[in-house]
Amino acid sequence: MYRTNTCGELRLSDAGREVTLAGWVQRTRKMGGMTFVDIRDRYGITQIVFESDADAALCDNANHLGREWVIQVTGTVAERTSKNPNLPTGEIEIIAKELKVLNRSEVPPFTIEDETDGGDDLRMKYRYLDLRRSCVRSNLELRHRMAFEIRRYLDSKGFLEVETPVLIKSTPEGARDFVVPSRMNPGQFYALPQSPQTFKQLLMVSGFDRYFQIVKCFR
């Protein structure tokens, strides 16, 4: 089994359960005979504990984990002695019994944190890493919820969502067009609609008196 729970799901009520988690290594900390590993996925972060007294080899393997390595851990949910009120999972930790490295990673070019040390150009170059940051993920989740609520509300009022064409024949309004060349018709171009009322009129005379569209923004 790949995982039984996500990294943001477990709570104190799950204490005593044996679970399997999978995700990226956020950070590791070695304290005496124990190694703490924070494992992260889209849903949150959970602390994993490796005890050298219980399994020295397993603890040694945990000491060699690097940032953004993808790992799978099986262990028992336990109550944390030092709770973290800033995390939804801050009351529990996983006492590790098994560790499997699913994929190793090179050292990331910037820290995968809300307050990262990467500039805009660097983060856009490695966008797939930037999207792992919780603040970026939160923005995408907010956009999803807003669009979902808009659709739910308008649907309750009898509106129909209609997706009108993004590119059409260029029209001579005089404004600068965003043009895309046609490979099927050399020398001809598609353009962003500068007369969207054409589509509105088409829908209205067809009987769609209530419709809406969440339009893509081109920058």
- Separation CA 212–CA 23 (nearest Å): 39
Summarize the confidence of residues 128-134 as an average pLDDT.
Answer: 94
- Separation CA 167–CA 175 (nearest Å): 16
Q: Which pLDDT belongs to residue 185?
A: 85
Structure confidence at residue 85 as a pLDDT band (50, 70, 90): very high
Question: For residue 187, is pLDDT > 80?
Answer: yes
Q: Which pLDDT belongs to residue 176?
A: 66
Task: Give the rounded percent of residues in the chain with a pLDDT score beyond 70.
Answer: 95
Distances (CA, A) of 141 to 46, 63, 131, 135, 150: 20, 34, 12, 10, 14
Give residue-wise pLDDT tens across range 201-212.
Answer: 899 999 999 999
Give residue-wise pLDDT tens across range 26-79.
Answer: 999 999 899 999 999 999 999 999 999 999 999 999 999 999 999 999 999 999
Structure confidence at residue 178 as a pLDDT band (50, 70, 90): confident
Q: How many CA atoms lie within 13 A of 75 on its CB side?
A: 28
| Strand residues in the chain grouped as ranges (E) | 18-31, 34-41, 44-51, 70-79, 92-103, 160-161, 168-169, 179-181, 189-191, 211-212
Q: Which pLDDT belongs to residue 195?
A: 66
Give residue-wise pLDDT tens across range 4-40.
Answer: 999 999 999 999 999 999 999 999 999 989 999 999 9
